Amino acid sequence: MSFIEALILGLVQGLTEFLPVSSSAHLRIVGEILPSAQDPGATFTAITQLGTELAVVIYFWGDITRIIGRWFRHFAASSGIAKNDPDVRLGWLIIIGTIPIVLVGYFAQEYIRTAFRSLWIVAIVLIAFSIVLWAADRWGRRVREIDQMTYRSGITIGVAQMLALVPGVSRSGATVSAGLALGYTRTAAARFAFLLAVPAVFGSGLYELATSIREPSSNAFGALETAAATVVAFGVGLAVIAYLMRYLRKGSFLPFVIYRIVLGVALLILLATGVLAPL
């Protein structure tokens, strides 16, 4: 697989990681239509997500440092920070909400790397979860802000994040849908979804990076190509976050719902006619 193909996939990763359209599904699909016609694989996908997640850290730097600082300081009785402080609660929720995806991601490695990457599954999931996103956006009350996040809500959104292990679901799509269904505003749901993803994505990416160093054959690309793709994903991802957070102040998720359905149907047609192979 060529250096140019790696850059293209890095661009795709940056463009789609934060939109509710599933970056892993897009990498899977684009990998098949590039000249080499190969699945980039779970290892390459996870490593390039380190770039987009670094973009999250930079964009939400103020939130992240404030939450971490207040979470640590609240253990000191002299800090005056209450246990029910919104930032302390968010810190706990990010920790607790990460547990489901870590457990399932660890024990379901075989399926994540093989069966879940079938393009039949990707196509069906793209369409099915577009309906979930549309319903949550259409009927969610959208009245609660992120500082009102409860433990029940945070844990529920954490369980929803677990579904992102299946390409086509979309990490942001699953978590934002859960947030909307629980009555949070679009910006609040997206903000918590991005913050919640930080430990899980960094953990997965670093794990796969270590795996690729020990077993170079586990990555479809070489170290230089993967590094370049990760840098591209970072730059593009940072711009996409800024755009999406502005858009969600007034815009709905309907354009993404329509896009997911069109892409899913097109993929089903290509598979049914034999133009693409499922694995």
What sign results for the dihedral spanned by CA atoms 263, 264, 267, 268?
negative
Cβ(22)–Cβ(259) below 8 Å: no
Query: Token pair of 160, please?
Result: 């929803």
Q: What are 36-68's pLDDT values in tens digits?
A: 878 888 889 999 999 999 999 999 999 999 999
Query: Tell me, what's the pLDDT at 42?
Result: 83
| Nearest CA-CA partner of 178 in 166, 196, 165 | 196
- Eight-state DSSP code of residue 114: T
Q: What are 223-269's pLDDT values in tens digits?
A: 899 999 999 999 999 999 999 999 999 999 999 999 999 999 999 99
Give CA 128 to chain center in angstroms: 17
Helix ranges (H only) for the chain are: 3-16, 23-33, 41-59, 61-73, 86-107, 109-113, 119-139, 151-162, 171-181, 186-214, 223-247, 254-272
| Nearest CA-CA partner of 175 in 98, 112, 102 | 98
